[in-house]
Amino acid sequence: MIKASIIGGTGYAGQELIRILMRHPEVEVVTVGSRSFAGQKFSDIYGNYEGLTDLLCEVSNIQEMAEKSDVVFLALPHGLASKMITEEILEKTKIIDLGADFRLKDALIYEQWYNIEHYNKPLLDEAVYGLCELHRNEIKKARLISNPGCYTTCSILSLAPLIKNKLIDENSIIIDAKSGVTGAGRGTVLDVMYSECNESVKAYKIGEHRHTPEIEQELNLFNGGDFKLLFTPHLVPMNRGILALCYANLTADISLEELKELYKDFYKDEYFVRLTGDKLPETRWVKGSNFCDIGLKIDPRTNRVIVVGAIDNLIKGAAGQAVQNMNISFDLDEKTGIDFITDFPI
């Protein structure tokens, strides 16, 4: 059995991670770390665990967790993981970080977008960006895996085949994405209170969202370029899910059917990427699952391609992908413990 510990287990992503790991046939959850709820029963914080576990939340001591764990998951705000992870820790256990500290390879870009110092720059070269469909071989050998952001997962998977095959003007890319309110975390924030976000849709952090350089970094790998894109996120009044519409100018004469065949070939071996054919993705068909659904349209009048991607932000966008990374890292069947069929209606 793989012994797993979670630091930050009482946030939305951390709770989802524990829910998945408790059902995973190859995993034993040994420690739940929490800054805010140390000493409390996990089932007192999340009533859905009542009678199912006796786990107590503990003060997060990564040194102790590393001694007794095969893998430690970090589900923390940015700025904390880079202080905690050391070479000594990585000699004892694998780390899968659901936060942002090791996603960007350039420390200066990280510090510009996150307005905080990076405290462990030497490990940036070693950290593997854990988008499983694109970096599987590196993940297999990694000690430190940086789980991608939710918006980035959906956007990169939606656009990667176009850039790999040089079909679009990369500088024309516009990503218009919508997320449910769990993407903002479990803290008390006025903007995501029910009475503030219900019956409203709003754009936020236009031109300055921190997932922007992450999307650019990964997509630039396909052509060795340094293009810039426009990413605009929106908050919508639902609990979970992301829908990303990606627009770009075509540079090749290609039909919709040819484009669909190209996407089928690109993702032919990827269980968790589903191409929706003539139907366009909806968040209700991925909610509660680790799937990323992708649909395609071409607007011949403007010569633009529109790619629609949908994921559950807490699963494929966070906890499910973290477990997918763990499965790859420990040479398990990639689907183990995360082969959920979407709950519907929910």
165-175 residue pLDDT tens: 999 999 999 99
Could you tell me the fold of the domain covering 151-311? Dihydrodipicolinate Reductase; domain 2 (3.30.360)
- Choose, from 57, 132, 150, 246, the residue flagged as catalytic: 150
Average pLDDT, the chain: 95
Q: For residue 125, how far is the Cα from the chain centroid?
A: 20
Note the CATH architecture for domain 2-126. 3-Layer(aba) Sandwich (3.40)
Taking CA 242 as the corner, what is the angle to CA 238 and CA 246, rounded to the nearest 5 degrees?
135
Q: For residue 156, how far is the Cα from the chain centroid?
A: 11
Banded pLDDT at 114 (limits 50, 70, 90): very high
Residue from 150, 121, 66, 71 nearest 325 by CA: 71
171-199 residue pLDDT tens: 999 999 999 998 777 665 777 777 787 88
Inform me whether the pLDDT recorded for 298 exceeds 80: yes
Model pLDDT, residue 343 = 87
Write down the domain spans for the chain: 2-126, 151-311
What pTM was computed for the model?
0.96
- Are 2-126 and 151-311 equal in CATH topology? no
- Annotated catalytic residue 150: yes
User: φ and ψ at 280, to 5 degrees?
Assistant: -95, 145
Crossing angle, helix 256-266 and helix 150-164, to 10 degrees? 110
Better pLDDT: 186 or 56? 56
Banded pLDDT at 265 (limits 50, 70, 90): very high
